[in-house]
Amino acid sequence: MPNKPLLLGVTGGIGSGKSTVCQLFAVLGIPIYNADDRAKWIVSNDLETRKAISDIFGPDSFLQGEYNRAFIASIVFQSPEKLQQLNAIIHPAVGRDFELWIKLNQDKAPYLVKEAALLFDSGSQNKLDHIAVVHAPDALRMKRIRQRDPQRSEDQIRNIISNQMTQEEMMKRASFLIDNSGKTLLIPQVVAINSSIVRDI
């Protein structure tokens, strides 16, 4: 892609605070692509993706035209094979959507941010220039998730965490680390990363 902008990925385990960090980048004027939100939009609106999901998971995948998230989740979090099949449908669709988004936003800022929980799992880190990993202690992450998603049981949350790459492994692969334990202020960390990227462009 000609004149491709510099791309920063922001990732971290569930409850680490990725969205909070990305809101700070947005305040600095950096466009944010939220891969998880776009994935939800795609499974609700893209006919090819919907058909592929229905072919694997059956007619209960969609109820009255709406994506049956609870039904799909009950299957994939018990079956790594089914989770892999679902990801093989959604990750490429999100990748195509991201490429279109880059074209629409590449002239708006010195760099762009992609927020994604499954950045490494999807393989999309290979198309990014830098990765920032947001991390926090497991107990604090659990507390945040229970407050944010009271409908999730502790077992469901642990299932989600067990299906994600560990924080430690993510941190090994990071260009930047963002401590969201509450012991270090977030804003100076984000400003420092922004300054570093802009300086090197």
- The domain tally of the chain equals 1
- 155-194 pLDDT, tens digit each: 888 888 887 899 999 999 999 999 999 999 999 999 999 9
Does the reported pTM lie above 0.85? yes
- Domain of 118, in residue numbers: 6-200
Residue 65 DSSP label = T
CA distance 111 to 196: 12
Q: Report the amino acid identity of residue 157.
A: I
Q: Is residue 1 part of a domain?
A: no
User: Does pLDDT of 101 surpass 80?
Assistant: yes
Q: Is residue 163 part of a domain?
A: yes
CATH number at residue 20: 3.40.50.300
| Greatest Cα-to-Cα distance within the chain, rounded to the nearest angstrom | 52
Q: Is residue 156 part of a domain?
A: yes
Task: Give the residue, 85 or 154, on which the prediction is more confident.
Answer: 85
Phi, then psi, of 5 in degrees rounded to 5:
-75, 165
CA distance 196 to 182: 23
